[in-house]
Amino acid sequence: NHTRMTEFILIGFKSQPGSQLFLSVLFSTMYIVTVVGNVCMILIIRMDSTLHTPMYFFLENLSTLDICYSSVITPRATLTLLLDRRNISYNECASQMFFFSLFGTTEAFFLAVMAYDRFTAICNPLLYQVIMSKRLCVLMVMGSYLSGCINCTIQTGFTFSLSFCGPKEIKHFFCEVAAVMHASCSDTFVNELVMLAVCGSIIVGTGLVVFISYGYIIITIVQMPSAESRHKAFSTCSSHMVTICLFFGTVFFMYAQPGATSSPNKSTTISIFYTIVIPMLNPFIYTLRNKEVKRSLKKQLKRK
């Protein structure tokens, strides 16, 4: 006999009670920095007409996505650690998984789109304005979100079609797909195959677009005649390359390494990095390593 599960218990970080207050303060601080940093990035781009280009259109959307991505996880995790209220309802858990998968998948596609944008700008500069039209940019953003919707619907639907008959503990600080799957009393073999096939194809597909694009970019930069043109071309891509390495590095380590999802402590630690740390770092990476953004920021501060 099975009774319908009404709630779960998130037991991530429960084994370190002394560090819960510290983590709650750390998470809340990082969340505030994430929101403020990304909002400032959006305002800088919108207020400066010289930044109304495809590259900054994608960057503005990435900042908006990072705010949403972090907001799905961090506030709930902070309250859980601060108040030690670990119960999460069945519907809230499903919603959190849905939006986490949506924004996480969309970010992977965004990074691939941004890599293609830089490839077009550096390898086909004369045709850049023609190829990267406003219509294409909007379609790419919509396509990224649509891909995210498809993946999160598959992951959430398959996971919550399982039976949960106890224990109802989730060995994580949020409703991550693998963690919820391991709390089920059903056979999860098919679910694991689906997760591997869908997530694997997304990670490999977007990763290939990124690395092939940057392979051509590096070859083109090396072949440029002057050191000044090489430096200028590299400076426009360096911030994006840092973001790509951080995001895809942690995602590959999390989902492509054998046994990673079955190790709660390891997966929890890595999850902190790609759900909380990276959305906070992105605006700083793009600000500190981008001359146009720094120039625009100085201009706006002088006006104020």
What mean pLDDT comes out for the span 19-34? 91
Specify the range with the lowest mean pLDDT, choosing from 159-163, 224-228, 254-258. Answer: 254-258
251 vs 257: CA distance, rounded Å: 10
**What CATH number should be reported for the domain holding residue 72?**
1.20.1070.10
The amino acid at residue 4 is R
Asked if residue 291 belongs to a domain, the reply is no
Q: Compare 212 and 266 and report the one with higher pLDDT.
A: 212
- The pair phi, psi for residue 165, each rounded to 5°, is -115, 10
Q: Name the most confidently modeled range: 140-144, 160-164, 190-194.
A: 140-144
Asked if residue 217 belongs to a domain, the reply is yes
DSSP SS3 for 7: strand
Asked if residue 248 belongs to a domain, the reply is yes
Question: Judging by DSSP bridges, how do beta strands 7-10 and 169-170 pair with one another?
Answer: parallel
pLDDT tens, position by position, 28-48: 999 999 999 999 999 989 988
pLDDT tens, position by position, 102-136: 999 999 999 999 999 999 999 998 999 999 999 99
Asked if residue 2 belongs to a domain, the reply is no
Specify the range with the lowest mean pLDDT, choosing from 52-56, 192-196, 213-217. Answer: 192-196
pLDDT tens, position by position, 201-228: 898 899 899 999 999 998 998 888 888 7
- Other CB atoms within 10 Å distance of the CB of residue 39: 14
Cβ atoms of 87 and 5 closer than 8 Å: no
- Other CB atoms within 10 Å distance of the CB of residue 89: 12
User: Whole-number mean pLDDT of the chain?
Assistant: 86
Specify the range with the lowest mean pLDDT, choosing from 138-152, 206-220, 274-288. Answer: 274-288
Q: Based on the structure, what is the number of domains in the chain?
A: 1
Comparing CA positions, the residue from 12, 24, 135, 142 lying closest to residue 83 is 24
Comparing CA positions, the residue from 67, 81, 84 lying closest to residue 27 is 81
Model pLDDT, residue 262: 52
Asked if residue 240 belongs to a domain, the reply is yes
- Other CB atoms within 10 Å distance of the CB of residue 4: 8
Helix (H) or strand (E) holding 232: helix 227-255
User: How much is the pTM?
Assistant: 0.90
Model pLDDT, residue 31: 96
Asked if residue 38 belongs to a domain, the reply is yes
Asked if residue 302 belongs to a domain, the reply is no
Specify the range with the lowest mean pLDDT, choosing from 38-42, 148-152, 206-210, 282-286. Answer: 282-286
In the chain, % of residues over pLDDT 70: 91
Task: Output the CA torsion sign for 200, 274, 103, 291.
Answer: negative
DSSP structure class, residue 21: H
DSSP SS3 for 89: strand
Q: Which domain holds residue 200?
A: 7-284
Which positions ≥6 away from 57 have C-beta within 8 Å?
A: 137
Cβ atoms of 202 and 107 closer than 8 Å: no
Asked if residue 290 belongs to a domain, the reply is no
Task: Output the CA torsion sign for 50, 55, 58, 59.
Answer: negative
